[in-house]
Structures are given as structure tokens and as C-alpha cells.
Amino acid sequence: MTMRVVVDNGPGRKRKASTGRALKTAKPQIAIRPAVVADAPALHALIAAHLEEGKLLPRTLDELAVHAPRFVVAESGGTIVGCAELAPLSQTVAEVRSLVVSRGARRHGLGVQMVEDLAARARRDGFDRLCAFAHDPAFFVRRGFSIVPHTWVPEKIAHDCIACPLFRNCGQYAVALEVDRVNAASLRRSANAN
Ligand SMILES: CC(C)(COP(=O)(O)OP(=O)(O)OC[C@H]1O[C@@H](n2cnc3c(N)ncnc32)[C@H](O)[C@@H]1OP(=O)(O)O)[C@@H](O)C(=O)NCCC(=O)NCCS
């Protein structure tokens, strides 16, 4: 699914000409699109730049090249400014991973749109549940996800946690959303309601 959105940078970005007339500035077009293998270096750079802030899982370039098609990206003027991955944990459960939007592109709805895109993809691919693991779950909770015990996502425990040195002590919240109960409009409504 490819959506085109126009980011409104607000009145602060319009400069006044010396005549006092407002200069029209071109609004950047941001495309939400599936990633391709060639995006792997940009995905790697974006995730690496926000590892600490987002307490994100480090990703290798090789891994990203293999899994690029699982990602959705937000692209502005040829630059990738956001990404998120739909990682299958089982036939029924998929995880939203490596969700990040570069600082200058935040609060324009790109994070929500990428999660919407992944939710639509999860529904299309037959997953029942979407989950995520976050130190700060507020973004997901405002989108209708529920905080659940980690044991409600045994697929994640078997897939990743069991081999993790921080197992049972990682400080992350598990959040989950039933895919069949949500559509893009309702995710957006959740965002607008808060
Ligand atoms: C979390 C993150 C991905 C959100 O990205 P984003 O593009 O800013 O997300 P959105 O713009 O869709 O939504 C963020 C907020 O902006 C608000 N917003 C959306 N459009 C807006 C607009 N035009 N004007 C003002 N606010 C807006 C949303 O309502 C939302 O608010 P809320 O979550 O407090 O309810 C981003 O902050 C980030 O990359 N953080 C660092 C990495 C990280 O923490 N990743 C998550 C790990 S699980």
C-alpha cells in the first residue's frame, strides 16, 4: 500500500520577503512505501542513529538487506526519514519492530501511518495479532494497543527473549492489538482522541 501525504510545516516555515509578502515555500511530499533491498543502508543508518533514544534493537546491515521487504518506510525528497518492520513471530502473531522517525520529521503522523500500513499488511497476510515491545508504550497505547503480560506473547519469548541476557528484566512493556478489530481509520481516531 502506498500513501502520499503532504506535511504541513505550519506558519513558522513561511518566510517574509522584503516587500512584506509571504514567500510560498514548497511543501515536502512524504511517501509511505514498502522498503526494498536497496534501502538497507538507509534503514541501517536511521536505526543506528536512534538506538539509544528509542532503546532499539541493534540491526546489522546484512539482516536488514534480508528483511528489507518486511519494512515500511517514510521517504521525503529521496531521504528515508522513518521506518518500521512487520516481523512474523508465528503464523498468527507479528511484531512491529524498529519503529523510528527522524527527529525533524516527527509529530506529522508518520509513525501512526507506518503502524497503520503494517496493521493493514498484517491483516492482509492473515495475522490475528500485532504486538510490540517498548520501554515507553504510550505511543502504542494511544493507538489502541493494550499493555499485556509478556507471557501473553509466548512467540516472542520463544523467538527472542529466551536467548536474551535481560530476559525477565528488560524493562520493556509488551503491547498487543487484535488485527481484526482495527482498521486504519480507527488507529487514526485513537491518535486524534488523545
Ligand atoms: C515514536 C515515534 C516513532 C513516533 O513518530 P512520529 O512520526 O512522531 O509519530 P506521529 O507523528 O504519528 O505521532 C506522534 C505524536 O504526534 C501527534 N501528531 C501527529 N500528527 C501531528 C500533527 N500534524 N501536529 C501535531 N502533532 C501531531 C500524534 O497524535 C502523536 O501524539 P501522541 O502519541 O502523544 O498521541 C518517534 O517519536 C520516534 O522515532 N522515537 C524514537 C524511537 C522510538 O522510541 N521508537 C519506538 C520504539 S518502540
Q: Does domain 3-193 have CATH number 3.40.630.30?
A: yes
159: CA distance to ligand 1 center in Å? 28
Position 50 pLDDT exceeds 50: yes
169, burial (CB in 10 Å: exposed 0-12, middle 13-18, buried 19+): exposed
- Residue 181 is predicted with a pLDDT of 64
Which residue did the predictor score with more confidence, 23 or 158?
158
- Residue 44 is predicted with a pLDDT of 98
- Residue 67 is predicted with a pLDDT of 97
- Residue 17 is predicted with a pLDDT of 37
Q: What is the pLDDT of residues 180-190, one digit of tens each?
A: 766 655 665 56
> What DSSP assignment string belongs to 3-57?
EEEE----GGGPPBPTTSPBPPPPPPEEEEEE--GGGHHHHHHHHHHTHHHHTPP
Nearest-angstrom CA–CA distance, 17 and 66: 49
CA of 84, closest atom in ligand 1: 3
- What lies within 8 Å, CB to CB, of 12 at 6+ separation is none
pLDDT-based confidence at residue 22 (cuts at 50, 70, 90) = very low
Position 43 pLDDT exceeds 60: yes
Does the pTM surpass 0.85? The reply is no
Check: CB of residue 51 under 8 Å from CB of residue 5.
Answer: no
Residue ID of nearest Cα to ligand 1 atom 34: 139
Which residue did the predictor score with more confidence, 55 or 107?
107
Which residue did the predictor score with more confidence, 14 or 172?
172
Check: CB of residue 147 under 8 Å from CB of residue 174.
Answer: yes
Which residue did the predictor score with more confidence, 43 or 162?
43
Q: What is the mean pLDDT of the chain?
A: 83
- Residue 2 is predicted with a pLDDT of 41
Q: Where are the alpha helices (DSSP H) in 51-170?
A: 51-54, 61-67, 110-124, 138-141, 154-159
Furthest CA-CA distance within the chain: 66
Check: CB of residue 4 under 8 Å from CB of residue 75.
Answer: no
Cell numbers given for 8:
504541513
Check: CB of residue 80 under 8 Å from CB of residue 43.
Answer: yes
pLDDT-based confidence at residue 7 (cuts at 50, 70, 90) = very low
CA of 135, closest atom in ligand 1: 48
Q: Ligand 1 pocket by C-beta < 6 Å: which residues?
A: 50, 53-54, 99-101, 106-112, 132, 134, 139, 142, 191, 194
- Residue 14 is predicted with a pLDDT of 38
Q: Which among 139, 142, 147, 172 is the best mutation to test ligand 1's pocket, defined by most ligand atoms within 8 Å of the CB?
A: 139
